[in-house]
Amino acid sequence: MGMYRFVRISLVAAALVSTPIMADAADAVRAPVYRPAPIVPLVYNWTGFYVGGHIGAGWTDGGDAGFLGGGQAGYNYQIGQWVLGAEWQMSATSIKDSVSASFIFPGFAVGMASAEARLDWISTFAARFGWAFDQWLVYGKVGGAWAHTSVDIVNSINSIAGGLGMATSFDRTVSGWMLGVGTEYALWDNWTAKVEYNMMDFGSDFFTDNTVHVVKAGVNYHFGFPRY
């Protein structure tokens, strides 16, 4: 009888000791497996309005060259990697062309004529379409172009009877079309930097050469929500 009680007590003790172990084992089996959330890469968002400034150089097909500087404003809308938008820009320039000639009336007079044509400013309004590689944007432009030119003409004649001079000035605004290509890079926060080439054709309305080429570098500030 004593032995029976001893065996019974031993079985109860073993059951009590094994119960937490079995519970722990059951909990370990039933515990859900947690997996880390997938890492979503941050991609720059080009959508929104922007304004900026630029400096650069321009030249005509005839070889006349000068500097330019101005500003731009526009809007982008991104669809996947496509970036569509429109941009207006205006630049003051130092591009000019000059020509002079002299003539002689034997035994009577000597004359001189000179003319200077200046490209005061150029402006474009163009559709912009590009492809974004996160912080890089490569784009093309096509649209209209406008330019304001000024011309000064001076004529003088010196003769045995005395001297005579005359000066004339006039200006004109002409229109044409433009093509452009460029690339833009997101620097930090809402700031980007860009490099761009434009070709503008003003046809027969222009005073000097019909085509103007421009290379410029600039920065833009993009308004609105965070870029990422």
Q: Can you give the CATH number for the domain in which 116 is found?
A: 2.40.160.20
- Separation CA 170–CA 27 (nearest Å): 94
Asked if residue 31 is part of any domain, the answer here is no
Asked if residue 2 is part of any domain, the answer here is no
Asked if residue 4 is part of any domain, the answer here is no
pTM equals 0.73
pLDDT in tens, 97-154: 766 676 676 666 676 677 778 889 999 999 999 999 999 999 999 999 999 988 888 7
Question: Tokens 């093509």 map to which residue?
Answer: 179
Task: Supply the DSSP symbol for 33.
Answer: P
pLDDT in tens, 38-67: 554 568 899 999 999 999 999 988 788 999
Asked if residue 121 is part of any domain, the answer here is yes
| Beta carbons of 197 and 183 less than 8 angstroms apart | no
Asked if residue 51 is part of any domain, the answer here is yes
- Separation CA 77–CA 127 (nearest Å): 12
Asked if residue 100 is part of any domain, the answer here is yes
Asked if residue 16 is part of any domain, the answer here is no
User: In terms of residue numbers, what domain contains 165?
Assistant: 46-222
Asked if residue 179 is part of any domain, the answer here is yes
Q: How many domains does the chain have?
A: 1
Please report the DSSP string for 126-141 in residue order. Answer: EEEEEEEETTEEEEEE
Residue 61 Rama label (left phi>0; alpha psi -120 to 50; beta): alpha
